[in-house]
Each structure stands twice: as structure tokens, then as C-alpha cells.
A and B are shown apart, each in its own frame.
Chain A
């Protein structure tokens, strides 16, 4: 609250940092958004520590991380609602650090939607166009078309307190996209919706982004949501970027313990390096594809990549005993000693606790974590 007041009253002159330079724009052609070495502290707490990432034009990028990892602050810095201590933001190749929020070519969908309660749905959506003194006929056309894109035509004359949470969320979206921003920022826009509606909205959001061809940057703590909607995921932890890459890569190839644990299910196996690609682990000797940089460390493998074999497999075989078995409808989850390893199998595999099994941990699926 105090910080917000301070920011509101601090003059825009204080935002002036460096003028835009041509070289950076040239270095990142085709990038809608470039975040470069951004750091931010509130008092003694470091919120963001040297964060860099880019979003290409038309890309859907998600900033994913647990609460308090700095993802929302990063979004606010991009929007111009907070200022960074160091680093710079480029939008469409132009440095915008010196611009206040109202002069940046971005729009935000806020977590609580922040619809103006005294304005109708139509006027809420028209707000950004009216701020820029766009002539009335054009305002009407653009508002109408964005309302119909989000199936809100019938609600134009309603007030925010007369519509449902899901409808408010769509109005907030319409209010942002109607301005055709260079980058659309979404701050946990689905956190207030119930699970069923959220799943629907995720698909709608993905379709909308494809249809508009605009760059979307979404902030969320929900990894399922991130995987459903994003082209690329930027995984954040404690103010740093833990890992970034295309969605499947971040899920399948975690580089750190945090990344492996954040996407839930991965098995973490403590290991000791004994050869260039050979490690001793709690489940036996295993061969890996990359040479570990550590003496003692961790390997990760997702439960769905562990294979069940009838006989001893040629490589990375583990002889185990089923301790527990959980039927999940679309799959069966087994807890197997040693480890314990969690294994995910087709529901056709009927294995009762106590049975002995051979497991194969494919070397190409065993991730050598950095820590």
C-alpha cells in the first residue's frame, strides 16, 4: 500500500533512465518483449535477481513459480506499475523503462479483474480507447467486435456487479485486447474461477491468443495451467529464473531439484558419481547420458517413463517389490521398493502389493540435476 502510494505520487520524471538504443533492438529482432538483467528489492528483501527472458511476437509465455517467487512483481515491472532497480525492458525493440504505465504498449488483465464498478461493461471495455481520444464511431466498432469475440454482446449495458465471475474475467480480457497491445499481460487471471470453468477458460485463452496472434505473458503458480496454454515456460524461484524453454522440455528435462519437484511427480534419486556416465544410487548402479558435474547429487525421472519388464532389462534394470498400488482410473500408480520409486502404468497392468517386478530406467530419461 505504501509502495503503491509512493509510486503513484512519484513524478514520471523519476522514471527516466536511459534513452532507447538501436543496438539492442537490432540484437533481438522479432521479439515483442525483452527483459534484460532485471533486479528489484523492496527494502532488504530481494524480489528479483538478475532476471532475463524474451517473448517472440505471437508467443504465449508463462511465468511459472510458487507464490513469492517474484513473478507478479516482474509482470508489474513490465507493465510499468513498479520500477526495477536495475536492468531494462524492451517492448517491440524499444526501451520503455523511462515510460510510465499509461504510455507503454501493454495491457494487463488483473487478478481481481479491477473493473470500474461505476461503468457499464461497454464503457469498461471502451476505457483504454477513450483515454487515447479515439473517435467515437471507431470506439463503438472496436468495443462491439471485442465484446462479440468474447461472447459478451448481451452484457454490454450491464454493470460489473450484475455479472458472474467468469463473465467479469472475460470483460477484463476484452478490456485489454480491444487496445491491441504489443504484449498482453495476465496476472493469475483464472485463480478466482472454479476448476471446471478454469479448464474451459484456459482453452478459450489459448484459442484467443492464436486468433489474435498477439504476445501473451501469463503469470501463474499452477503448472497444469502453464502446460495447457503456453508455448514456452519461464520457471521462477526465489527471484531467479530456474529454467526456461518450450513447455515439453521444461517438464521432461528438469535441470534442478526445484524444477523436478515443482512439476510434481518426478522421482528424485540420490546418487554418487563413479565413472563419467556411471552413478551409484539408492536403487543400484545406473548409466546416465550426461556426465554429472558433482560427486554426490540427484537424478530425476518421471513415473511415466519407468518401464515394466518381464525379464532383466539390458541396461539400468532395477529389481523391486510392489509396496502399494493406487488405481487412478486412467492409470495405475505403483510405489516400488527400493527407492521408493513411483511408477505410472496403464490400468491394464494388474499388479498386487508384494509382487516382484523388473523395472527399466531408460538412460535418456534419467535427468542429471544440477544440484
Chain B
């Protein structure tokens, strides 16, 4: 441990290096400890607690909440969970599909134009999600073109809004996720080695093959970030489904939010949250592991 080591032209020991390393990450670690680990721990503890008739926590250990998740409410929960996963997948794939051409469009501009378009993508994030979703509610209302068009096509009854519906929830989710897909993909596209694209074209590749052989492998790092950044929030969202879906279109986020609010069942909400966290982390790590085998770049 105390053997001298040279580190960036500096004579030092391993122990000193470790100490310095800890000093550097101490701030970040303590931040994570206070704002991530402690709340998660609290969630974990609360999920094993009881509550009285008014919803006040009772300090008594029980497996009641978990019994409810996997027992009496399991059918309904499973339905909501599957629904959430499907919608999150739709939102993710739609966002990524839209983000590719947007990324190319932004990357082709001059510096100034890139900044303009990127700003246009990012600026909506300055507004609260509730307000953005509300504007979708207005857009999809009966008086405006989209609803009239949908009615004319026979998708909805004339004079009705497009919401509440799964279509409206999906639209809202895609709109909320899109910036998080565009930015990482743009970054990858900006660094694209075009000679590989040209080599593929030169070697008789069709447009589709050019994309899969030359563009996709190069943008895979950006793509995987985009997928995680859109899928994870989409899994836990409740504002969008609440406003554009209503009571009939609950996602897992709504279910959890309900327990902490009107449902007054904090232990049950905590248990559901834990389940969601475990599922999401599991999904993401599975994705990363499968993704790595292709990430030879």
C-alpha cells in the first residue's frame, strides 16, 4: 500500500491517491446519501408498516402491503403494470424514431442554426409538465382541427374531445419524452464518421442497409442513453395519464400517486414504488448488458 507510485508525473503513494480520490467524490456521495439513499430507505421501511383508518402510520411491522400487491389486487395491478410498460415502450420507440430525423436535421445546420433548433427542442422543458400537458388538452379539444379530423375519419364521435383516451395519453407521453431522445441522439449524429456512410453507399448498400450498417452502430451510445432517458420517466409518469387519460386510464404512476393522496395508504404506495424501482432498474440493467455486446465501438 505504501509503495511509491508515479501518478501524472507526481511521486506519491497508493494510500494518498485513494485518500485524495475519496476527497473528490465526498461531495457527490453525501448528496446521493441525503437525497437518494435516505428517501429510498424510508420508502423501504414504510412499506413494511401499518396504517390506521385515517391513514396515519403505525410503527408495527407487517407484510400487509406486499400481500395486497401480489394477492387480492394482483390482477388489477398486473393489468396496470403491463399497460404502463406497453405505453412506455410506445413512447420510447416513437420518440427515438422521431428523434433520428430531428437529430440529422439539427446537425446539418450551421452553428447558429443548430443552437436555434436545439433551443427550440429544449425550451419547452422550462415549462412545467402539467402546463405542457394542459396545452395538449387544449389542442385535442373538440373545437380544434385534430378532433374534427378524427371525427370526420370516424375515430371518435363528432363533438367530442380526443381525450380521455389511450391515444391522447400516448401523444402526451411522446411529447414529454421527445427532448430527452433528441439531445443524446443529436450528440451522436454530430460526431458521425461520414466516410463509413459513404463506404456503405460505395459498396452497393441500400438506404436501409446504410442506416443499419453505418449509422446505427455509430449512434448506438446516443441511442441507448435516449432509450433510458425516455423509458424510465415514461414508466413512472402520472401527470400525463391523469390529465389526458382520466380515471379509466391509470398507469402505475397514477396508482402510486393515489395511495399517497386520496387513497391514504402510504405503506401500500411505498411498496408499489419499491416494486416499480426494482422492475425499472432490472429492465435497464438487462438492456445495458444486452446492449454492450453490440457496443464494440
Residues of A within 8 A of B (CB): 1-2, 4-6, 8-9, 79-81, 100-103, 106-108, 110, 112, 114-119, 127-128, 131-132, 159, 175, 179
Do B202 and A108 touch across chains, with their CB atoms under 8 A apart?
A: yes
Do B202 and A101 touch across chains, with their CB atoms under 8 A apart?
A: yes
Chain B residue, CB-CB nearest to A101: B201
Report the bound CA distance from A127 to B107 in whole Å.
Answer: 28
Q: At the interface with chain A, which of B11-19, B85-93, B203-211?
A: B203-211
- Check if B72 is an interface residue, CB within 8 A of chain A: no
Report the bound CA distance from A100 to B201 in whole Å.
Answer: 8
Considering residues A81, A131, A179, which has the most beta carbons from chain B within 10 angstroms of its beta carbon?
Answer: A131
Considering residues A108, A114, A119, A132, which has the most beta carbons from chain B within 10 angstroms of its beta carbon?
Answer: A114
Do A127 and B198 touch across chains, with their CB atoms under 8 A apart?
A: no
- Check if B48 is an interface residue, CB within 8 A of chain A: no
- Check if B195 is an interface residue, CB within 8 A of chain A: yes
9 contacts between A and B (CB under 8 A): A1-B108, A4-B197, A8-B194, A101-B202, A103-B204, A108-B202, A112-B195, A114-B199, A127-B213
Report the bound CA distance from A103 to B205 in whole Å.
Answer: 9
Q: How far is the CB of B107 from chain A (nearest CB, A)?
A: 7
Report the bound CA distance from A175 to B203 in whole Å.
Answer: 9
Report the bound CA distance from A4 to B195 in whole Å.
Answer: 10
Chain A residue, CB-CB nearest to B193: A114
Chain A residue, CB-CB nearest to B109: A2
In the complex where A128-B203, A128-B204 touch, is A110 in contact with B198 (Cβ < 8 A)? yes
Residue in B109, B209, B217 whose CB lies within 8 Å of A117: B217
For A116, the chain B residues whose CB sits under 8 A away are 196, 199-200, 213-214, 217
Do B195 and A110 touch across chains, with their CB atoms under 8 A apart?
A: yes
Report the bound CA distance from A4 to B206 in whole Å.
Answer: 17
Report the bound CA distance from A174 to B41 in whole Å.
Answer: 60
Q: How far is the CB of B146 from chain A (nearest CB, A)?
A: 28
Residue in B104, B202, B294 whose CB lies within 8 Å of A102: B202
Nearest 8 pairs of A and B residues by beta carbon = A128-B203, A5-B108, A114-B199, A131-B204, A114-B195, A101-B201, A118-B217, A131-B205
Per-residue CB contact flags for chain B residues 7-46 toward chain A (1 = under 8 Å, else 0) read 0000000000000000000000000000000000000000
For B204, the chain A residues whose CB sits under 8 A away are 102-103, 128, 131-132, 179
Do A131 and B203 touch across chains, with their CB atoms under 8 A apart?
A: yes
Report the bound CA distance from A115 to B214 in whole Å.
Answer: 10
Do A118 and B202 touch across chains, with their CB atoms under 8 A apart?
A: no
Q: How far is the CB of B128 from chain A (nearest CB, A)?
A: 35
Considering residues B193, B198, B205, which has the most beta carbons from chain A within 10 angstroms of its beta carbon?
Answer: B198
Q: How far is the CB of A4 from chain B (nearest CB, A)?
A: 5
Do B197 and A8 touch across chains, with their CB atoms under 8 A apart?
A: yes
- Check if B296 is an interface residue, CB within 8 A of chain A: yes
For B104, the chain A residues whose CB sits under 8 A away are 5, 9
CB-based A-B contact count at 8 angstroms: 81
- Check if B297 is an interface residue, CB within 8 A of chain A: yes
- Check if B290 is an interface residue, CB within 8 A of chain A: no
Chain A residue, CB-CB nearest to B195: A114
Interface positions of B from 278 to 297, Cβ below 8 Å from A: 294, 296-297
- Check if B127 is an interface residue, CB within 8 A of chain A: no
- Check if B110 is an interface residue, CB within 8 A of chain A: yes
For B294, the chain A residues whose CB sits under 8 A away are 118
In the complex where A108-B199, A110-B195, A112-B195 touch, is A118 in contact with B108 (Cβ < 8 A)? no
Q: How far is the CB of A325 from chain B (nearest CB, A)?
A: 48
Do B108 and A179 touch across chains, with their CB atoms under 8 A apart?
A: no
For A115, the chain B residues whose CB sits under 8 A away are 199
Chain B residue, CB-CB nearest to A76: B198
Report the bound CA distance from A9 to B100 in whole Å.
Answer: 13
Q: How far is the CB of A254 from chain B (nearest CB, A)?
A: 34
For A112, the chain B residues whose CB sits under 8 A away are 195
Report the bound CA distance from A89 to B107 in whole Å.
Answer: 31
Report the bound CA distance from A9 to B189 in whole Å.
Answer: 14
Report the bound CA distance from A110 to B196 in whole Å.
Answer: 10
Residue in B109, B110, B198, B203 whose CB lies within 8 Å of A179: B203
For B201, the chain A residues whose CB sits under 8 A away are 80-81, 100-102
Q: How far is the CB of A160 from chain B (nearest CB, A)?
A: 10
For A81, the chain B residues whose CB sits under 8 A away are 198, 201-202
Chain A residue, CB-CB nearest to B202: A108
For A101, the chain B residues whose CB sits under 8 A away are 198, 201-202
Do B108 and A114 touch across chains, with their CB atoms under 8 A apart?
A: no
Q: How far is the CB of A152 from chain B (nearest CB, A)?
A: 17
In the complex where A108-B202, A127-B213, A131-B203 touch, is A118 in contact with B107 (Cβ < 8 A)? no
Q: How far is the CB of A34 from chain B (nearest CB, A)?
A: 20
Do A131 and B217 touch across chains, with their CB atoms under 8 A apart?
A: no
Q: How far is the CB of B203 from chain A (nearest CB, A)?
A: 4
Q: How far is the CB of B52 from chain A (nearest CB, A)?
A: 60
For B203, the chain A residues whose CB sits under 8 A away are 102, 107, 127-128, 131, 175, 179
Report the bound CA distance from A179 to B110 in whole Å.
Answer: 38
Q: How far is the CB of B282 from chain A (nearest CB, A)?
A: 27
